[in-house]
């Protein structure tokens, strides 16, 4: 998985609780992304980062926030989890040195919100 780890790999939580997912890379890539995968939708971009402290929204960003305080870590936070956020979450990275960029995906985190 190109030096990408996600933690936790599985999580069950209750509605209304905060949740933070972590993506860690060892590739020193500039770009990092968070996607969610749901049946019938493929993967959809939540947020992405183009550098430390530089982030932008994707197509399904409502209810999510992100932070990137150092190159290797990109955090996704659900401030108050809802059942509609039950999904598999994938982190991806890309180097930003070629056009178009190839994205490399992590193994995923399965989140269940009860």
Partner 1 sequence: DAKTTQPNSMESNEEEPVHLPCNHSTISGTDYIHWYRQLPSQGPEYVIHGLTSNVNNRMASLAIAEDRKSSTLILHRATLRDAAVYYCIRSTGNQFYFGTGTSLTVIP
Interface with partner 1 (CB under 8 A):
1, 31, 33, 40-45, 48, 50, 58-59, 90, 92, 94, 96, 100-108
Q: Measured from the CB atom, is 3 or 17 closer to partner 1?
A: 3
List, in sequence order, every beta strand (DSSP E) within 1-114: 4-7, 10-13, 19-25, 31-38, 42-51, 54-57, 65-70, 73-78, 87-94, 104-105, 109-113
Q: Measured from the CB atom, is 42 or 53 closer to partner 1?
A: 42
Helix (H, G, I), strand (E, B) or coil at 93: strand
- For residue 63, give both structure tokens: 């209810």
Q: CB of 106: closest distance to partner 1 in angstroms?
A: 5
Q: Measured from the CB atom, is 16 or 96 closer to partner 1?
A: 96
């Amino acid at each position: 998985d190109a030096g990408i780890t996600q933690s936790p790999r599985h999580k069950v939580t209750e509605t209304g609780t905060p949740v933070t997912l972590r993506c860690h890379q060892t590739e020193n890539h500039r770009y990092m992304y968070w996607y969610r995968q749901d049946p019938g939708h493929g993967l959809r971009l939540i947020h992405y980062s183009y550098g430390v402290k530089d982030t932008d929204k994707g197509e399904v960003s409502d209810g999510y926030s992100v932070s990137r305080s150092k190159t290797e870590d990109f955090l996704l936070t659900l401030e108050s989890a809802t059942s509609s956020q039950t999904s598999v979450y994938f982190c991806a990275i890309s180097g930003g040195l070629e056009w178009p960029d190839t994205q490399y995906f992590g193994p995923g985190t399965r989140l269940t919100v009860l």
